[in-house]
Structure 1
């Protein structure tokens, strides 16, 4: 029991320290009228689940992907940031109609976009999770997964609450969607830089 409680404590600290920047990304998504709440929630959980699953698999196989290759994930937020800039520049309508099959397809694209950005933004987390899981029992890894799922809900709740705050919500919604593309591009560039991807492939 003590080991399990200790694992829960470690899981909380690890998630909070490695995913704090994800909170700001969620603020941008919630502020963007193009994205529906359901799409953000599904995309976020898919992204977190992918990071968790890959880290568990890597820990079982004692397999660590070189940071330079993980850094390639940074291309995803750069792509979505540039795409969103183009849409804003051209004044493309961001309203979704659930009964419109074309817009429904776009909705699925939004889910994929959120998931990919979450994975890219948390790509470096794999290097933290993998050795951590490699030294844990199956029950402790399961506990980590439960904590990550619960804290993901907290992250989503906090971001949604801030965007809908009586005082803070209005300016975030008014300007947030314009900031999102630049945030995504900056995150992508930072991921490529910190992972040494550009230097690795250039050399």
Structure 2
């Protein structure tokens, strides 16, 4: 029982420490009328599932694909952030119903989750590598529950009768900069910027 409680604590700490920034990103998505809740839910679960699978194969992946190339995924949130900045100036929300019906929104959420998952991969991979089968299943189950908790909390904050209005206003303005910041962080921490700078200098 003590071992189970310890493993639960480890799993919760692992998820919370590596996904705190995702909570703010989810608030931004829920504040955007172009994204339906079911698209955000599907995208977030898809992104976290992909991170877990990538962590399980992390050691092999690191041997095949250089981290600098994986860092190019940081371009995804940068692109989304720039599009949102342009949307703040224009009338992009006029076609919100059409865009909300596309599968692309769920994939966009998943892509941001993946791009922001560098710390997840770095922490999950060694923990998963040393975990037994039952312990690994427990981690996966706790992660799934925590994803649901994160989604529920973000949705509740955005629709709170008192907090919803300021959160929607702040989220709409702040989310583009959060996404761009995440993308830049991914590019820098993966060594993509330094690698391509050295390549350009040699070329």
TM range (shorter): 0.7 to 0.9
Shift of 1:66: 4.6
Q: CA deviation at 1:4?
A: 3.9
d(CA) in 2 for partners of 1:169, 1:127: 35
Q: Deviations over 1:179-201 (max 9, x none)?
A: 22221111111221222220122
**Structure 1 stretches (4+) deviating beyond 6 angstroms?**
none
TM-score (norm 2): 0.88
TM-score, structure 1 as length reference: 0.88
**Alignment-derived partner of residue 202 in structure 1:** 197
Q: Does structure 2 retain, via aligned residues, the 8 Å contact 1:62–1:134?
A: no
Aligned to 2:25: 25
Work out the CA distance in 2 between the residues paired with 1:139 and 1:14: 17
What are the ranges of 5 or more consecutive residues in structure 2 without an aligned counterpart? 199-203
Distance in 1 (CA, whole Å) between partners of 2:136 and 2:61 is 15
Unaligned ranges ≥5, structure 1: none
2:105 counterpart of 1:110: yes
Question: Is contact 1:74-1:121 (8 Å) kept?
Answer: yes
Distance in structure 2 (CA, Å) of the matches to 1:34 and 1:72: 26
How many residues get paired? Answer: 196
- Per the TM alignment, residue 169 of structure 1 is displaced from its structure 2 partner at its CA by 0.7
Q: Please, which moves more after superposition, 181-190 or 67-76?
A: 67-76
Query: Is 2:160 aligned against 1:159?
Result: no
Aligned counterparts of 1:169 and 1:201: Cα–Cα separation in 2: 42
Q: 1:172 to 1:11 in 2, by over 3 A?
A: same
Residue in 2 that maps onto 1:184: 179
Give the superposed CA RMSD. 2.0
